[in-house]
Amino acid sequence: MPWVVVYCYPRTGKPDQEPLGGTQAWNAIPGARGCTPQSCAYRDHHAELHALGASVYGLSTQDTEYQREAVERLHLPFPLLSDARLALAGALRLPTFAVAGQELIRRLTLIARDGRIEKVFYPVYPADSDAEHVMAWLAAQGC
């Protein structure tokens, strides 16, 4: 695959758990909501992205065990990566925000080819349209 798509998001939730900091606080943070719908949109468009030559990865600060569980629960055909120590976020100077004592990555999408970042989508809104915007950009590149 010549293109690598890494969509970064604050954190996915679980149906039986309140968001970090509580629902009201989470909803008040611009761009915090929509992580699960964003991941599901990438799942739903995975075949189209693959046809455009893209490999897809999700990235958040949630730990590896949680990411594996989310992949299974959401039936994602691609991996979710953990940057729990913010190593990648720090190296790339990705935008972050703090909530309930935790530093989270702001929602953005990186598209790379041949080891070079070619496109950054930031801010990403609405979250569930991100995959479609990425597909349109890839198609415009002649993919």
What residue ranges do the domains of the chain occupy?
3-140
Report pLDDT for 68: 98
Report pLDDT for 1: 64
Which residue is it, tokens 């990865």? 57
Report pLDDT for 25: 86
The C-alpha atoms of residue 30 and residue 9 are separated, in whole angstroms, by: 12
Report pLDDT for 14: 84
The C-alpha atoms of residue 120 and residue 114 are separated, in whole angstroms, by: 15
Low-confidence ranges of the chain (pLDDT < 70): 1
Q: Provide CATH code, domain 3-140.
A: 3.40.30.10
Report pLDDT for 121: 98
Which stretches within the chain are classed as H helix?
A: 23-27, 35-44, 46-51, 64-74, 87-92, 130-140
SS3 state at 26 = helix
